[in-house]
Amino acid sequence: MNIQLWQIKGYSNIPILVHHYHSLESTNSKAKRMAMENASEWTVICADLQTRGRGRYHRKWHSPAGLGLYFSVILRPQIDLKFLNMINMRAALVIREILQTKLTQVDLQNEYPVQLKWPNDILVDGKKICGILLESEILNAEVNYLILGIGINLNHRRRDFPLELQETATSLKLLTKQNWETSQFLNKVLPKLQQKIILDQEAGFRNVILEYQKYLAFKNQVVEIKIQNQSIKGCIKGIDPYGYLLLEQGNETRTISTGDIAN
């Protein structure tokens, strides 16, 4: 098994230890096993390719070598369970900002806003560029560990996506006509992610929702939401303090805790 290790000096000198593999079934599965064997928080697992990368609702995350950045972070935050959603929302915000900066650096006229599709996707030009999968182990109503798994489409050409995703997915290469080095991108994301997650905990996650709302895709638009086998329609009004979606249906506003926006 091919493994490379490097350490990043993070926020307040808290180390971030990256384990880089050539090939794994899933960085989330590997991180989960390591968390169960007591790996410390801010241990990061990344891989050039995943043979069984997975997304939300057990969907497959297509993970060919070198095209995407695939990584998982072990976290052990001592937080109230009602704030769990804040972790993936913060991760989405950090990656959103880095993508937006890169797009603007390459093209100052860049007219593509990078948006957040509730709960976890990042969109550019209406197409998905990043997905986030947060898995958790809760013991006695406390977090034992979280696995924050992130997949970012960096170097895909259109034909590199499976046929069924070619209309709905994009990559940084498709948008900038450049190749992006996966480890460099990871080294940029991790310190920022660590800093924000630590500061958020200190601040009781006060700013996450405010910031998330600024970039929320489909705000004030009617959308269809798939919840298990059901589908409901409504107008997106925003996000509540715990990260749930506020959906207006006639005179009523419903709070949606889980589901997928079908648009």
Give the interface with ligand BTN as residue ranges (CB under 6 A). 26-28, 50, 53-56, 59, 61, 70-72, 121, 131-133, 149-151
Q: How many whole angstroms from its chain centre is CA 24? A: 19
Nearest CB to ligand BTN, comparing residues 79 and 150? 150
Q: Name every residue whose Cβ is closer than 8 Å to that of residue 90 and which is 6 or more positions away in sequence.
A: 193, 196, 197, 200, 208
Q: Name every residue whose Cβ is closer than 8 Å to that of residue 262 and which is 6 or more positions away in sequence.
A: 223, 224, 225, 226, 231
Dist CA 103 CA 172 (whole Å) = 8
Q: In the bound complex, what is the minimum distance in angstroms from residue 145's beta carbon to ligand BTN?
A: 15
Q: In the bound complex, what is the minimum distance in angstroms from residue 26's beta carbon to ligand BTN?
A: 3
Task: Dump strand ranges (E) for 64-213.
Answer: 68-75, 114-117, 121-124, 127-139, 142-153
Q: Is 51 exposed, middle or buried (0-12, 13-18, 19+ CB in 10 A)?
A: exposed
Shortest-Cβ-distance residue relative to ligand BTN:
131
Q: In the bound complex, what is the minimum distance in angstroms from residue 136's beta carbon to ligand BTN?
A: 14
Return the ∠ at Cα 165 (arms to 161 and 166), rounded to 5°.
65
Nearest CB to ligand BTN, comparing residues 122 and 143? 122
Helices (H) and strands (E) in the chain, counts: 5, 13
Q: In the bound complex, what is the minimum distance in angstroms from residue 30's beta carbon to ligand BTN?
A: 9
Q: In the bound complex, what is the minimum distance in angstroms from residue 52's beta carbon to ligand BTN?
A: 7
Nearest CB to ligand BTN, comparing residues 56 and 254? 56
Q: In the bound complex, what is the minimum distance in angstroms from residue 259's beta carbon to ligand BTN?
A: 13
Nearest CB to ligand BTN, comparing residues 98 and 235? 98
Query: Are β-strands 245-249 and 230-239 bridged in parallel, bridged antiparallel, or unpaired?
Result: antiparallel
Nearest CB to ligand BTN, comparing residues 183 and 207? 183
Contact 236, 249 (CB under 8 A): no
Nearest CB to ligand BTN, comparing residues 186 and 223? 186
